[in-house]
Amino acid sequence: MKVAVLAGDGIGKEVTAEALRVLQAVVPKSAALEIAHAPIGGAGVEAAGDPLPSATLELARKSDAILFGAAGEPGDEKIPFDMRPGASLLRLRKALGLFANFRPAFLFPELADASSLKREIVDGLDIVILRELTGDLYFGEPRGVTNEGGERVGINTMRYSESEVRRIGHAAFRAARMRNRKVCSVDKANVLETMQLWRDVMTEVGTEYPDVELTHTFVDAAAMMLMRNPRQFDVIVTGNVFGDILSDAAAMLTGSIGMLPSASLGSGRLGLYEPVHGTAPDIAGKNIANPLAAILSVEMMLRLSFDMQEAAARIRRAVSAVLAEGYRTADIYEPGTKRVGTREMGDAMLAALR
Ligand code: IPM
Ligand code: MG
């Protein structure tokens, strides 16, 4: 089990340290876990003058799974795009062909009151946003800022090929077959040609899965439906940009973005696992970040890259146990619960696992 740990910047370092302790606690000795650390993001710039150092990319390629923390630093906006620490993540996803980004939004019953929505709306919530991760406005050409008639013009291109839509479509239907057999494809086909193609291809792929219900929704309506009645969804499949936005919104249904793990997969075995939250520079280095999203990312790693279902289930049960015991980091704290720091939440997890 070769795991590359790319902790990165901000709270990435703190939450990854706790996730790693949990990983080491649940994997049996016989599985021969091999951990290797490498710098990425601001840490990569510091170590090798590149947010994605070639040695880091090499290590990632040779691994079975990557545990990623977060990358990016305040003030990034002033540096050229490909040198920005945050861009290291985009380059890594693209270089490794990790096109399918699973972002589950799952409510632990103990956190129903931490959600910004009413308990009766989110109780029992269990949906997955499947975000296409290597196409769309993020990577389309042409791009850049040019000069036209004496003023600056910014250009990005929404682009999807049929094969890109097809492969994420198949991933969505396969995921739905292991869940409640419903796929909602989210697009903007009323306005954008790219998204009409997206809808047409999704419909074609859908005919191969007659046992799965396929619906189509425009992204604006999908945003509304997520807030009004999120439990109507099972698997939401959408493009890179819409998925970025909707997954942050869905995170809040679960109480905190600090609870949300993710898995990015390609057509091979390699997977990248990361919390959805990012670097959170305002709270970095203060031992207050919630490590549960990173810890739940390890759960996804054990399930999806290593098929270690029992070890994964132990993590899920331990998270439920620490929440039931009342442990809360600042982001999910409510009066009457026990407020703890990042490290202490990790300690509570280890105790629960024992
Ligand atoms: C995410 C993040 C990234 C993205 C940023 C850090 C580039 O917001 O993983 O959702 O936009 O994909
Ligand atoms: Mg995002």
Contact 229, 249 (CB under 8 A): no
Note the pLDDT of residue 115. Answer: 86
Residue nearest to atom 12 of ligand 1 (CA): 244
Q: Report the atom number in ligand 1 closest to the C-alpha of 244.
A: 10
Q: Long-range contact list for 73-80, CB < 8 A, 24+ apart?
A: 73/9, 73/10, 73/41, 73/42, 73/279, 73/281, 74/281
pLDDT in tens, 17-50: 999 999 999 999 889 999 999 999 999 999 999 9
130 phi/psi in degrees, rounded to 5: -105, 110
Q: Report the atom number in ligand 1 closest to the C-alpha of 262.
A: 9
Q: Report the atom number in ligand 1 closest to the C-alpha of 101.
A: 9
Note the pLDDT of residue 196. Answer: 98
Note the pLDDT of residue 77. Answer: 74
Q: Report the atom number in ligand 1 closest to the C-alpha of 70.
A: 6
Domains in the chain (CATH in brackets) are: 1-100+259-353 (3.40.718.10), 114-253 (3.40.718.10)
Ligand 2 centroid to Cα of residue 71, in Å, is: 12
Please state the separation of Cα 222 from the chain's center in Å: 19
Give the pLDDT of the chain (354 residues) as one tens digit per residue: 999 999 999 999 999 999 999 999 999 988 999 999 999 999 999 999 999 999 999 999 999 999 999 998 887 777 887 788 878 999 999 999 999 999 999 999 999 888 889 999 999 999 999 999 999 999 999 999 999 999 999 999 999 999 999 999 999 999 999 999 999 999 999 999 999 999 999 999 999 999 999 999 999 999 999 999 999 999 999 999 999 999 989 988 988 889 999 999 999 889 999 999 899 999 999 999 999 999 999 999 999 999 999 999 999 999 999 999 999 999 999 999 999 999 999 999 999 999
Give the residue from 261, 271, 269 showing the smallest Cα distance to 297.
261
86 ligand 1 Cβ < 6 A: yes
Tokens of 44: 């990569």
312 phi/psi in degrees, rounded to 5: -65, -45
Note the pLDDT of residue 285. Answer: 96
Give the residue from 22, 3, 9, 12 showing the smallest Cα distance to 345.
22
Ligand 2 centroid to Cα of residue 217, in Å, is: 21
Contact 111, 259 (CB under 8 A): yes
Ligand 2 centroid to Cα of residue 150, in Å, is: 34
Q: Long-range contact list for 106-112, CB < 8 A, 24+ apart?
A: 106/254, 107/253, 107/254, 107/255, 108/254, 108/255, 108/259, 108/319, 108/320, 108/323, 110/320, 110/323, 110/324, 111/254, 111/255, 111/256, 111/259, 111/323, 111/332, 112/255
Q: Which residue ranges make up the annotated binding site?
A: 93, 103, 131, 220, 244, 248
Note the pLDDT of residue 354. Answer: 93
Task: Give the closest ligand to the alpha carbon of residue 103.
Answer: 1
Note the pLDDT of residue 344. Answer: 98
Cis peptide before 142 (omega within 30 of 0): yes
Q: Long-range contact list for 158-162, CB < 8 A, 24+ apart?
A: 158/192, 158/194, 158/195, 158/239, 158/241, 159/135, 159/194, 160/132, 160/135, 160/136, 160/194, 160/197, 160/198, 160/239, 161/135, 162/197, 162/201
Note the pLDDT of residue 322. Answer: 98
The CB density around residue 25, as the number of other CB atoms within 10 Å, is 16
Residue nearest to atom 6 of ligand 1 (CA): 86
Ligand 2 centroid to Cα of residue 303, in Å, is: 23
Q: Catalytic amino acids?
A: 138, 188, 220, 244, 248
90 ligand 1 Cβ < 6 A: yes
Length of the chain: 354
Rounded to whole angstroms, the Cα distance separating 231 from 85 reads 36
Residue nearest to atom 4 of ligand 1 (CA): 244
Cβ within 8 Å of residue 58, ≥6 positions away: none
Cα 12 to Cα 67, 156, 232, 264, 284, distances in angstroms = 10, 29, 33, 17, 8
Note the pLDDT of residue 255. Answer: 82
Rounded to whole angstroms, the Cα distance separating 236 from 212 reads 13
Note the pLDDT of residue 338. Answer: 97
